[in-house]
Structure 1
Amino acid sequence: MKKIFLCCSAGMSTSMVVEKMKQAAIDKGVDVEITAVGMDEFEITLPEFDCCLLGPQIKYKLADFKVKGDALGKPVGVINAMDYGMMKGDKILDQALTMIG
């Protein structure tokens, strides 16, 4: 099972995106666990998951978070703002799965 977490400023705005991603995973037959956390929980959540996608509103944290991700061999990226705004769970799921490899 792949484990993906989304990180945003408070962990709330991404919860709808998480639901869309979960539905996309069901549709594609992909076994994943997906959750959303606030950026204050990034460091404690990272070791437990395969990759992290940041909400577009905190893309300024990418450099900091990428260093921490690289240290653990965990990819960290930013969700495309258009996909995020339009709640394209399938595209965001594909982005995460590509990062995991």
Structure 2
Amino acid sequence: MGEKTIMLCCAAGMSTSMLVKRMQDAAKEKGIDARIFACPAAEVDEKLKQENVNSILLGPQVRYLLDNIKKKVADTSIKVDVIDMQAYGMMNGAKVLEQGLKLSN
């Protein structure tokens, strides 16, 4: 399967940092090779140039960016979705990891 890179995107990059940690822990537990990081919405373009991203998950607070970001990656294999609201609210790293991995397959 190889390493999967999942980028979480939120308003300022702060609210998703705890979720990233929980996702990393869940990946480690399951023996999944995944690189997971968060970035503020304003830095998405820059990160897409620097990173080999497989999927982008948007925090519920920036769901309005979904169409915009989908257009940016339309000519790539990168998949974009909004993080499940309940999983986000509960900071359920395993569930959000699963969502990101499903997207990137």
User: What range is the shorter-chain TM-score in?
Assistant: over 0.9
| 1:98 maps onto 2:105 in alignment | no
Matches within 5 A, 1:64-83: 64-83=68-87
Question: Do the aligned residues in 2 keep the contact of 1:53 with 1:96 (CA within 8 Å)?
Answer: yes
In 1, distance between residues paired with 2:58 and 2:48?
A: 12
- TM-score (norm: length of structure 2): 0.92
In 2, distance between residues paired with 1:6 and 1:33?
A: 11
Match of 1:11 in 2: 13
Question: Do the aligned residues in 2 keep the contact of 1:3 with 1:32 (CA within 8 Å)?
Answer: yes
Q: Which residue, 41, 44, 52 being the options, matches 2:43?
A: 41
Question: 5+ residue gaps in structure 2?
Answer: none
Q: Deviations over 1:74-101 (max 9, x none)?
A: 1011001110010110010000000011
Alignment: residue pair count:
101
In 2, distance between residues paired with 1:55 and 1:71?
A: 23
Runs (4+) of structure 1 exceeding 6 A deviation are none
Deviation at 1:73, TM superposition (A): 2.1
Question: 5+ residue gaps in structure 1?
Answer: none
In 2, distance between residues paired with 1:19 and 1:13?
A: 11
Deviation at 1:44, TM superposition (A): 1.6
Match of 1:25 in 2: 27
- TM-score (norm: length of structure 1): 0.96
State the AA in 2 paired with 1:51.
S
